[in-house]
């Protein structure tokens, strides 16, 4: 198991400090990355937490999965590597019926 964890089902009001305080009960927390919407700056409801070691990460998963934070039951598991996505994404302008 790696030491980077996915933490989901977060309240939009949860802060990185609250997440760090909670996970520090399981060991040293190297990094907390709360994902935010790039347009609004509002939380997207999930974060990534990097623990100091694999054993601390395993302890965090077993102790924190299902634990309540800000009124929400957390989903905690090992983070999967980011999938490669093809470049592009559309968004092009289309003009149908125009001559």
Rounded to whole angstroms, how far apart are CA atoms 45 and 10?
Answer: 5
Is 20 a member of any domain?
yes
- Which residues pair with residue 72 across a beta bridge? 69
Average pLDDT, 10 consecutive residues per value, the chain (99 residues): 91 96 96 94 95 96 96 95 71 61
Q: What's the number of domains the chain is made of?
A: 1
> What is the pLDDT, as a whole number, of residue 18?
97
> What is the pLDDT, as a whole number, of residue 98?
60
CA dihedral 74, 47, 84, 4 (to 10 degrees): -80
* Three-state secondary-structure class, residue 64: helix
> What is the pLDDT, as a whole number, of residue 51?
97
User: How high is the mean pLDDT of the chain?
Assistant: 90
Structure pTM?
0.81
CATH number of the domain encompassing residue 59: 3.30.70.330
Structural domain containing residue 41: 4-78
């Amino acid at each position: 198991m790696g030491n980077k964890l996915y933490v989901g089902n977060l309240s939009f009001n949860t802060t990185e400090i609250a997440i760090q305080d909670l996970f520090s009960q399981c060991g040293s927390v190297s990094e907390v990355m709360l994902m935010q919407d790039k347009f609004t700056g509002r939380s997207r409801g999930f974060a990534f937490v990097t623990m100091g070691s694999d054993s601390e990460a395993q302890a965090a998963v077993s102790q924190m999965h299902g634990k309540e934070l800000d009124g929400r039951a957390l989903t905690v598991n090992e983070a999967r590597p980011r999938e490669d996505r093809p470049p592009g994404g559309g968004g092009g302008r289309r003009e149908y019926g125009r001559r």
